[in-house]
């Protein structure tokens, strides 16, 4: 019997996953919240396999608001992003011993989770399992959290990255989740409130209290209707996005969970790669060696343009002579510097790539530089050995073949 650890976002519903393994070849050693990256390392040492469960940022925000309705939403989403980066990094480095799934799939499409585990481990599991109809403790808050998180670019970009590389993402469960959430909200809307029940018992002598209760009830119903309308709006938007690939031109690459242009920000707290210094306010220095690596989730095969936004280099020759390899294949680079003589940076390095016919699940970028330069050579107290300071990498899907 193979040992299994289940790890998810704090407060998540991943604890309900244990019932999936009541019968089968797995022994659940632990089912814990992800408090720190050490939790993942400990599971890697003690368990044969790990089930990593991530949740949409809107659900994490709703759970925070459930405990504190006046909580800082931006801080809550930053906390979610920190945990999500830990999960993503650990999964990318240990894919053979981990299965990454969306919490919604765990609840509404558990058969797909079991199938993914079976494929990863080689152990046959239960062929069919009924969805876990976990009740919504706070459906209005979940709808509100989804609405608030929708506009947060950082958490949504990270969530798309998780959806792209996950063994089981939300595709098979999202519609059912929205339908269940709408049903729960409608039940609340139809259920008599305390204000209504009190109003029925009010006598003529309590007319003023009755009017106050009616006003309170009308306000509550108005808020419920507003939340319901917002949820229906975002559900319609999701359906449009889901149908878009079917109506798109065949020449246009369609990446699951990936937009036409995806941004990878090197100013993030964590990256998956080697030979990089700590992030700064406008980018991250590569060094102290002359070869730096980055691991990115691979979109579906197709044609793309890579754009490297370089903030600075102490010697422009470092950029002019740099090389970039994608999965050990050298890329042809086009380098564009700032106008002379006033400035040379920032600059951009571009490369067109064609991954048609490949089956890579991740992209390994290897950046090679001719040399390093130390600020100490120019009179600074900074003793570091540096190459380039990179702000971000953009992956842009190409709709048509490039000309020239």
- 383 and 362 inside one domain: yes
- 152 and 204 inside one domain: no
Cβ-based burial of 332 (10 A; exposed 0-12, middle 13-18, buried ≥19): exposed
- 161 and 294 inside one domain: no
Q: Is residue 120 part of a domain?
A: yes
pLDDT per residue as tens digits for the range 34-57: 887 788 888 888 888 999 999 888
- 196 and 282 inside one domain: no
- 77 and 220 inside one domain: no
Strands 2-8 and 347-354: unpaired
- 198 and 174 inside one domain: no
Q: Is residue 291 part of a domain?
A: yes
Q: What are phi and psi of 30, to 5 degrees?
A: -155, 150
pLDDT per residue as tens digits for the range 144-203: 777 777 778 888 888 888 888 889 988 877 777 777 767 776 776 665 555 555 555 555
- 355 and 206 inside one domain: no
- 23 and 159 inside one domain: yes
Tell me the whole-structure pTM to 2 decimals: 0.49
Q: Give me the percent of the chain exceeding a pLDDT of 90.
A: 24
Question: The tokens 């490369």 sit on which residue?
Answer: 351
Q: Is residue 236 part of a domain?
A: yes
Domain span holding position 210:
192-247
Q: Give me the percent of the chain exceeding a pLDDT of 70.
A: 74
- 278 and 223 inside one domain: no
Q: Which tokens belong to 404?
A: 């020239």
Q: Is residue 79 part of a domain?
A: yes
DSSP states along 97-163: GEEEEEHHHHHH-HHHHHHHHHHHH-----S---------S-HHHHHHHHHHHTT-HHHHHHHHHHH
Q: What is the pLDDT of residue 322?
A: 96
Helical (H) or strand (E) element with 186:
helix 174-190
- 200 and 172 inside one domain: no
Q: Is residue 184 part of a domain?
A: no
- 159 and 294 inside one domain: no
We report the CATH number of the domain holding residue 295 as: 2.60.120.1200
Number of domains forming the structure of the chain: 3
We report the CATH number of the domain holding residue 66 as: 3.40.50
User: Final residue of a domain: which of 145, 179, 213?
Assistant: 179
What mean pLDDT is predicted for residues 306-332?
93
Residues 155 and 81: beta-carbon distance below 8 Å = yes
């Amino acid at each position: 019997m193979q040992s299994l650890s289940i790890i998810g976002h704090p407060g998540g519903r991943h604890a309900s996953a244990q019932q999936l393994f009541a019968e089968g070849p797995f022994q659940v050693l632990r089912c814990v919240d992800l408090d720190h990256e050490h939790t993942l390392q400990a599971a890697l040492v003690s368990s044969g396999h790990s089930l990593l469960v991530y949740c949409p940022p809107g659900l994490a925000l709703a759970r925070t608001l459930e405990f504190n309705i006046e909580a800082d939403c931006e801080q809550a989403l930053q906390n979610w992003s920190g945990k999500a980066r830990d999960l993503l990094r650990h999964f990318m480095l240990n894919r053979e011993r981990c299965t990454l799934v969306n919490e919604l799939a765990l609840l509404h499409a558990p058969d797909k989770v079991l199938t993914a585990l079976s494929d990863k481990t080689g152990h046959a599991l239960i062929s069919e399992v009924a969805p876990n109809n976990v009740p919504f403790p706070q459906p209005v808050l979940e709808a509100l959290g989804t609405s608030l998180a929708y506009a947060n670019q950082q958490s949504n970009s990270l969530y798309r990255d998780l959806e792209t590389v996950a063994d089981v993402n939300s595709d098979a469960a999202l519609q059912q989740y929205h339908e269940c959430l709408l049903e729960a909200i409608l039940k609340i809307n139809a259920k008599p409130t305390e204000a209504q029940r009190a109003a029925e018992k009010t006598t003529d002598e309590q007319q003023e209290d009755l009017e106050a209760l009616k006003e309170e009830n009308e306000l509550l119903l108005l808020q419920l209707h507003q939340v319901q309308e917002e949820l229906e709006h975002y559900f319609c938007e999701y359906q449009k996005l889901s149908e878009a690939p079917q109506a798109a031109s065949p020449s246009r690459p369609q990446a699951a969970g990936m937009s036409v242009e995806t941004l990878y920000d090197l100013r993030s707290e964590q990256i998956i790669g080697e030979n990089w210094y700590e992030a700064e306010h406008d980018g991250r220095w590569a060094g102290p060696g002359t070869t730096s690596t980055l691991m990115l989730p691979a979109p579906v095969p197709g044609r793309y343009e890579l754009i490297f936004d370089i903030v600075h280099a102490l010697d422009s020759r470092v950029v002019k002579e740099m090389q970039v390899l994608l999965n050990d294949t050298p890329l042809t680079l086009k380098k564009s510097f700032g106008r002379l003589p006033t400035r040379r940076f920032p600059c951009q390095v571009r490369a067109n790539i064609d991954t048609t016919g490949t089956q890579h699940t991740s992209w390994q970028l290897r950046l090679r530089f001719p040399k390093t330069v130390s600020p100490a050579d120019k009179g600074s107290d900074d003793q570091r050995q540096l190459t380039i300071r990179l702000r971000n990498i953009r992956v842009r899907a190409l709709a048509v073949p490039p000309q020239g």
